Each structure stands twice: as C-alpha cells, then as structure tokens.
Structure 1
C-alpha cells in the first residue's frame, strides 16, 4: 500500500511536530530516597501517572483503565477477578458452581470485612446486585446485568445465588468489575469522592481533575501490598507525562506516543514497553444521526479511504497490524478468518461516494479524547488528511475525557458524527465484548440500529456450547463488517515507562493496579 507524495509529506510533518515534544531524554529517576538510581525504599510513595481525568469512583459504574478504573480496582473488589492473561480467578467468592443453565451459586470467602468494619455477607452482596438490577438504576454495568439476570439472592450467610433469564456459561468472568460496597455507605456516602470497599488500599483523598491518594488497608484479608502509600497522578497531556518522567516525579507512566520511546532507549533509569492490547481501535460511526453516514456505501468509503498501514508505520512504530474488519482481536479472541480487512483503496472510496450521491458534500466531525490514546491527536489529523483526498471533509474536536464522555452520552442527534475510541475484551471467550457495538448499547461506540446484528449477539450470549457460539460469532463479525458499522483500524497499542527498581507486568487490558507493583 502507498500514499501520495503530498500525503506522505503531510504525515512526515505530523511526525516531526510530535517528535519535538520529546526533545531531550529524561535525565533522572527516583530512587528510594528521592535521589537518582537504586530501588525505592520502604517509605517511598508509589507515584503512578494516568492519562484521563476521573469521572468518579461509584463502584457500580464502569471505569476506564486509563483513569478511575485503575483506582477502583485498588479499593474495591468483586466476586471474581482476572489475572494478567484474562483468566477468571476467585476473589471475594472462594468458589462457584453452575448446577442448572439458569442458576449460578457463589460461596463467599470467610473473614472478609469492608474498610468500615462491616462483614462481607451474602446479604450485602445480594443488595449490591439488587441495586444494579433496579429498573431506576442507570448504571452501565446494571444495564448489561439486566439483560440476562432475573434476580440475585442470599442463601444463608455466605452463598449468593444468581437466577438468570438466559444461560451465561461465562458468568464468573463477567462479574470481575461488579465492585461491592455496603448498603450503609451507598445510602449515606459520597460515591464519587469516597470509597468503602474490601480492597488492598484505602482512599485518603481524590481530586477528580488531578489524582488520588491511597494508603494500604491494615485490615485487608489478602496479601499486603508492597507500597504503603500510593499517589495516582492525572496527567492528561503527552507533554505533562514526558515532563514528569524527565523530572523523576512518577514511577510509572502510561500512554506515551510510541515514537517518544526512542528518547528513552539509552536511559537506564526507566525501561520502556510497547505492545498491543486486547482492545481494538475504531472510529465509531453515528448512523442514527442520519445524513450521509446512514448510507452503507459512505461508511464503506470511509474504511477504504484510510491508509492504516501508513499510519501504523508512521505513528505507532509498526507495533500492530491493521484490523481484519472486525471488532475482536487476540489474545482473548481469534478473528474470523473469513472476514478480511478493508484495504486502502481511495479509488474505490471515491466510486462508492459517487454511487451514493455524496461525491463532495460529506462534512463530518471527529471527536478525540485528549491524552487517552497513544498518538491520538496525530492519528486524527492523518485520518482527516486521507479522507480529504477522497472528498470527505473532517473537522476534529479534542477535549478532556470527562467533557468528551459527556458529549458522547448525549442523544445521537447531539453526539459527534465520528468518535476515535478503543474498546475490547477483558477476559477470554466472553462474548459480552460485542455489547458496546449493538443497537442496545448505552455506550457510544454504537449509534446504530441493526436488529439482525442484535439478534445474533443475543443468541450468542445465550449459547450453551462453544460450537454454537463460534458459529454465531462468524455470522456476527461478517454482518458488522458488511454493514461497515465502524471504521476498523487496528489493535490498540499500549506503552509504559517503568522506573528502575520496580517490577510490574503491563496487562493487555491496560489497568494499572498499585497492588501489582513490586520492588526488585
């Protein structure tokens, strides 16, 4: 694949602009006493840089891994958890069973207390899920739960029973981020700025724009975390994260542009990682808004107009391969081999636009959350330039994450035409991964109406055997590709800089949990 000479010059110019942010490699990193070199000492406060402002710590809402989701996973716990490979593990539930297709039974761990001293009981757990299932609850997690769950009840002091509307053979995996708190706190506390959980850390303070401070939970039932004190710093701009590393003000920083990692190649104070993640990057399409995007030919034209390989090689250091025209990717899912990528073909894009009667009148707005995705702003500019070459004009709005999220949660008529966003699986072989892309979704990866796709996903998530599930996945991925409900880009890249003296293995799911950081 190739780009025109003028397009290549524009892309090179973008790279040059991005590279100037990183002139001068970092010159210091914190040791144990605040001096350069060495492992952090016992009294060292672990400082972790996140790239998105917080929207709140409500345990019954979902959380971004680049933001409050990482903090929630340190102060709260769920019945289950996921290991770094996406496999489900016991957490507050010590074991579980599935005696019938519509019943799951979870036995709670003994001796667990919430941070206010309240014992963990089946009654407290059942109350949490009753709140999530309440028709008045607007929680995104609750909306998912209501689809397949009729009720959750307590049986004695330590058994929780899920009564399902339809089979969910992977239910333990689905529950990993349904965090639990006490009914008393829910009714009297500030859910966004306070926390009562069972996790390894306690929340000391939080500033939704700037970060959170935590301290180890002295009554934690599990392994004691290595660091007594933790500070999560919100650094939403690329320049701020680079500056913090250069000054030795953070121990781990995430979501730097891949090109910036070259600046740290010879620096012994930090080690850099660049990998793909379990997420896929897409440009979601707001079909429900009407206009040109309601025509499948215009959506297909957008896919053909983007030279994904050129952007990957130019801005992401060739770390990933273009998506195969679907919204699932390794390591948790194997793409459908029958579905192929939309290759770069600007001639075909122009032909489709002409057939649709939209050769020169397509004007779209693309929303990008600032500081969220590696090279996000530069990628948006490259996409706009390539789209312009086939007659599609794209303007870009880049805003901090909370403001960006607020806009995306508006009705389709007020939301952006296009949104640059990453979404993906958290655990293996769970087909709830398709939820954000269905018509029923409360998330704004989807502003579509496709009853055929929705029906396939409903049947998939109720499948009782793997063979049936695989067949439905094949049909669903083919349908989503053919309707071009999104611009398929590539698996998400994940970058990090880790101070010498620390041990931490990046999760493909991108979460940065303080309790997983150790000393060498």
Structure 2
C-alpha cells in the first residue's frame, strides 16, 4: 500500500482536544474544534457543497448524509441532539416516563410551521405515526419497533405507549424519528411530500425555498422561528451537488463554494494550508467497517473473520486513506457513544475487549486451522472516494494473506447503496464497506442493528446471548445496568465479528474566509448547524 505523506495539523480553534502524535516531530495529528470563532453579524447568503443530491427530503426516508445535512436546518424533532452530543428540549418542552412502557411529551406552544399555521399535538401524532405505517416504509421503522400506539392525550400532550420497555426510544426523538411535520401538509402532498416540487413545511430556522434537480437546493431564513437563540444569521443557504471530489475541493479553493462537510480525505493536507479558508475537525460517532454480508461461505466461521481482521493493515489504511487523521477502531462504536454511561465503568469495559493487532502470519495460521484453503470471497467496491479504494485494496490483500481468493466486484454508486436496502443486491457478495454513524449517544444504536432479524443485520448473523444482552440493555433505564448489558453485547460482537471495525475518524468541515460560527460535530445531521453561521470579521 502506497502511504500518503502525513502532515501534522495543529489547527487554531476556540477550544479543542489534540489527538495522538503521529508526525516525526511529535505534533498532534489533528485537533478537535468544539466551536469556530463567533460571527460578527448576519450574512446575505452562503453556498454549501453536498457530495450527492438527496433522493428526497422526506424525513421518513432521510437516513443518509445528504438529505439529513439539509433537513436538519428545516425540520425539527421533539428533542434536540446538541453538538456536545447531549440532548435537550426541542418541539417538546419536556417529557415524562410514568411507567416503563409510557412516554408522555409536552408540546411547545407558540411554534409555527413555515406556512404560518400553529404547531399542535395532532401534528405530532400524525408525524410519528407515519413511521409505524407499513405503507410509508419509513427508514426509521426500527426506532418504532416496540411502539404500540401514539395518541393525543391533552391539548398539547402526546403519549407514546410501548409493547415493551425501550430506553432508546426517547433518545431517538432527538433525531429524524422524532421529526414533526404539519399534518395538513402530509395529507395534502401525499406521495409528493419531500420531492423537488413540493419540498417540506416544518418549523426550523430555515424554510424550503426551491430545488433544481441535478444542480442545487435553496433554503431561506424563517423570520418567525420560535427559538431566538438559533435565529438564522444567513438570509439564504444554497446547497450545490458536487459528486466529484476534485470539483468540490476546487470549489473551496476558488471561493465558489463557502464550505462543506465530509471533506475528501486526500485533500486534508492541501486544505489545511489553504488561503481561502480553514479545515476543522469535530466529534464523530462514525466507524469505518467491513460488513460480512455472507455467513454461508468461508466467512461463516468466526475464526476466519478474526483472522481477516488481524491481517488487515488498519494503521496503514488510516495513514494512506485519511492522512493519519483517525485511529484504529477497537469496537464498532466510538467511545463518545458511552457518554451517558457511568464513566468509571467505560474504561474497564473497553479494555476487556478482544484485540486484533496486525499479524498476517498468525492470522494465516488461524485461518488454516479453520479450514481456509483458497476459497473465493467477493468484495464489493464502488468508486466512491479514495479512502474507499484504499480500504478495498487493504481487505483484498488481507484476504489473500490468510489463504482466501478474493474477487473485487466494482459496482456503480447507486448499486452500492442498494446493498444496504435490498437483500437481492447482496446476493453473491461476501464483504462490503460502510461508514456507520450512530444517531443517538448510545452504543445500542449500533448493536441493536445486529440483533437477529434487524433490517441492517445484513449477514443475518444471530447469537441468542447477544440478543438477550441487547434486550436487557434496552429494557432498563438505569445507566449502570444499561451500560453493563450493552457492554456484554459489545463483547460478544467483538468476539464473533459480524462486522469488522477498521478505524474511526473525526467529522471534517471546511469553512471559507467569509463565514464562521459553526460547531463541528456529527450532530449536524439533526441539529440546525447552518443557523449559527454568519459573517466573519
């Protein structure tokens, strides 16, 4: 693997945390920024890049970076996921959990939708119920798997009744599952809701303005927004769709585009010294994984999966794929997803995890003992970006090193996306990569997706003890008991490796010289980040 030169980045920020020394002079490889400099005032508009055009901005189908990047500024949820990954009131001023299977939400008064109509409890009921309707086919149905009913129980009160206790349900109310839309708009727009012609009608600091397919999507400031602390400083935000990495970076460097999330990793060094703006890194909950999509072939033996992970040069991937801006992952979740757990228990549970250090020779011996002798495995790949290519090459080399015969199946980006939604698309595919983020500050958001029968359990892995641990964690609201059960599930997953964790990396964002005020964090997928961006003095 040809390694990219590692550039030490010591970024200036209002506050931040340095990450492990990787450069020859011992300087930190990168620094997390909690908040960029405050803006000096409003700005007429700014332009933002998206690496792909959303298929829809219907919240029920917004389970990916492009649509959520837009929608987080337009629509709001009952609760709010903040940049520091805490949760606070949103369209609900508060909630109660009077019984283990009941959540009662008090709806905020004085809130208006972008068409001027007032927010009511009926709007909340209609919005949440869509996720329960099989005719909707919501991508967020998993968050509602234990929901029995959603009912209006007071003038501004909504009660959600569960079939069984689920401690994660309330947390999901700070993400897309908790989104509230006008009931009248949902009924009027029907299947056209969220498309380029109709857009959406929500309550956020920005309102939908226009969408030119293949080119751009424009938001305008909503001057009647209820939360003055997040009143938008820009009158307009224009999202442009730039799928080509080079075009995106060139747009930053020319000043044609003011900023963008998910900066191409191979441009980190270039943009870190740009005269046109600054590159920042923030908190993330994303782990790059190799998904085992077929457990019927040679990868059905956990020893082979363990051997494959030991043979993958994960440090090399971090160095070559993301310029050293990241760390080898010891788990399928990042440490900050445990922020709500008693911190005295977090270190021990992480230290107890099995380790898979890079050791091709030992890995080959383990694979041989499991019966590996030249069987074929198919690795799906797509020309998404440079780090995806590097990951595929590294996994291919590792598979060869342990005695397997890897074949690369290169597919188009849309067919690659289908691997996550269509079981037929995964037929004949043994391995494929994902950059998997959690939408709540809870490891169960990841481990729950590996439960038997879960939609995103792509390899149909099943372990009764794992399922029991996940159920136990979800069924308790006690932080210590929740953490202990989640830790047991994590331990089993890391021993069995239904997915292979590769590395974690920070959120990346580029801000041009005209603008500032952003709080870099993965919460940008659900928090109105664009409202804080204003003029730079």
Where on the TM-score scale, by shorter chain, does this alignment land: which range? 0.7 to 0.9
Match of 1:226 among 204, 229, 233: 233
For this pair of structures, how many residues does the alignment match? 480
Contact 2:378 2:428 in 1 (8 A): no
Q: How many Å separate the matches in 1 of 2:475 and 2:213? A: 38
CA spacing shift, 1:171–1:80, aligned 2, 3 Å: same
Contact 1:279 1:509 in 2 (8 A): no
Contact 1:52 1:235 in 2 (8 A): yes
Contact 1:494 1:510 in 2 (8 A): no
TM-score of the two chains, using structure 2 as the length reference: 0.82
Spell out the pairing of 1:374-413 with structure 2 (5 A cutoff).
375-392=387-404, 393-397=406-410, 399-400=412-413, 402-411=414-423
Q: How many Å separate the matches in 2 of 1:140 and 1:242? A: 31
Cα deviation 1:217-260 (Å, max 9, x = unaligned): 23322232011111112222221211211221111123234442
Matched, 1:514 2:530: yes
Matched, 1:305 2:311: yes
Contact 1:174 1:430 in 2 (8 A): no
Contact 1:380 1:396 in 2 (8 A): no
Query: Match for residue 445 of structure 2?
Result: 432
Q: How many Å separate the matches in 2 of 1:442 and 1:192? A: 24
Match of 1:191 among 190, 193, 196: 193
Matched, 1:296 2:298: no
Q: How many Å separate the matches in 1 of 2:507 and 2:533? A: 17
* Shift, 1:48, TM fit: 1.0
SS in 2 for 1:249: coil
Matched, 1:126 2:138: no
Q: How many Å separate the matches in 1 of 2:460 and 2:216? A: 32
* Shift, 1:200, TM fit: 1.4
Contact 1:327 1:488 in 2 (8 A): yes
CA spacing shift, 1:445–1:279, aligned 2, 3 Å: farther
Contact 1:63 1:70 in 2 (8 A): no
Match of 1:339 among 332, 344, 353: 353
Matched, 1:172 2:170: yes
Pick which of 251-260 and 197-206 moved more.
251-260
Spell out the pairing of 1:253-332 with structure 2 (5 A cutoff).
253-274=260-281, 277-288=284-295, 290-324=296-330, 326-332=331-337
* Shift, 1:42, TM fit: 5.4
* Shift, 1:321, TM fit: 2.3
Matched, 1:11 2:2: yes
Cα deviation 1:342-376 (Å, max 9, x = unaligned): 111212322233233332122312234715xx722
Contact 2:105 2:159 in 1 (8 A): yes
CA spacing shift, 1:416–1:165, aligned 2, 3 Å: same
Pick which of 79-88 and 506-515 moved more.
506-515
Contact 1:56 1:208 in 2 (8 A): no
Q: How many Å separate the matches in 2 of 1:440 and 1:132? A: 18
Query: Match for residue 361 of structure 1?
Result: 375
* Shift, 1:285, TM fit: 0.6
Matched, 1:471 2:484: yes
Q: How many Å separate the matches in 2 of 1:128 and 1:180? A: 5
Contact 1:284 1:420 in 2 (8 A): yes
* Shift, 1:67, TM fit: 0.6
* Shift, 1:461, TM fit: 0.8
Pick which of 225-234 and 265-274 moved more.
265-274
Query: Match for residue 33 of structure 1?
Result: none
Cα deviation 1:261-283 (Å, max 9, x = unaligned): 22234333211124562111111
Matched, 1:482 2:495: yes
Cα deviation 1:292-340 (Å, max 9, x = unaligned): 222222222221110111221233233322111x212122324632003
CA spacing shift, 1:54–1:202, aligned 2, 3 Å: same
SS in 2 for 1:228: strand
Aligned-CA RMSD value: 2.5
List, as ranges, runs of 4+ consecutive aligned residues in structure 1 with deviation greater than 6 Å: none
CA spacing shift, 1:448–1:149, aligned 2, 3 Å: same
Query: Match for residue 32 of structure 2?
Result: none
Contact 2:58 2:193 in 1 (8 A): yes
Spell out the pairing of 1:131-142 with structure 2 (5 A cutoff).
131-142=130-141
* Shift, 1:126, TM fit: 1.2
Contact 2:312 2:397 in 1 (8 A): no
Query: Match for residue 49 of structure 1?
Result: 49
Query: Match for residue 59 of structure 1?
Result: 59
Contact 1:368 1:421 in 2 (8 A): no
TM-score of the two chains, using structure 1 as the length reference: 0.85
Unmatched 5+ residue regions in structure 2? 6-38, 339-345
* Shift, 1:101, TM fit: 1.9
